[in-house]
Amino acid sequence: MRVLRMIRWPWLLGLGIACGLLVAPMLAAPPAPEDRASIQIVVTDAETGQPVNQAHLTLQFSEPGNKYKLKRSRPTAYSAKTNPQGRCKFVDIPLGTIRLMVTADHHESFGKDFEIEKDGQIIEVKLKRPQPQI
């Protein structure tokens, strides 16, 4: 009887260590803040250079998943409008590729992919006036 109990303890200890090694990565910290950035969008009229007030911005990107928590990346979109100086700031954006779409009254729509590489990056958008219909 005592022999059986002595055999079980090392086996249980080994099982406990193995479980600890499997669970420890799942308790890892969230992505570091250096993987995220704040960006500023500046929208101006292509002809006059004047800021475009109340331009509607849509920012799309893929929010990274967490392999330790078995979370997949998911598409995310933010919307905002520019201020009277034609500016808008987005915070806590993951580094990588984003898609920016801009619409404004009396201007053509704009859409383009940008690469976010650093915090404080400024993206300048020049909106054209619509072409006259023939």
Q: What is the CATH number of the domain that holds 59?
A: 2.60.40.1120
Whole domain around residue 58: which residue ranges?
A: 33-127
Instruction: Give the three-class secondary structure for 4.
Output: helix
Q: Which two tokens stand for residue 122?
A: 């400024």
Whether 38 is in a domain gets the answer: yes
Whether 76 is in a domain gets the answer: yes
Whether 28 is in a domain gets the answer: no
CA gap 77, 61 in Å, rounded: 6
Whether 13 is in a domain gets the answer: no
Whether 15 is in a domain gets the answer: no
CA gap 62, 99 in Å, rounded: 10
pLDDT averaged over consecutive 10-residue blocks of the chain (134 residues)?
54 57 51 79 97 97 74 86 97 94 96 96 96 82
Q: Which two tokens stand for residue 44?
A: 């101006």
Instruction: Give the three-class secondary structure for 77.
Output: strand
Complete edge-to-edge strand list for the sheet that includes strand 56-63: 74-81, 56-63, 96-103, 110-116
Q: What is the pTM of this model?
A: 0.70
Whether 73 is in a domain gets the answer: yes
CA gap 29, 27 in Å, rounded: 7
Whether 11 is in a domain gets the answer: no
Write down the pLDDT at residue 63: 81
Q: How many domains does the chain have?
A: 1
HSE (side-chain half, CA atoms, 13 Å) at 43: 29
Whether 16 is in a domain gets the answer: no
Cβ atoms of 25 and 70 closer than 8 Å: no
Cβ atoms of 41 and 123 closer than 8 Å: yes
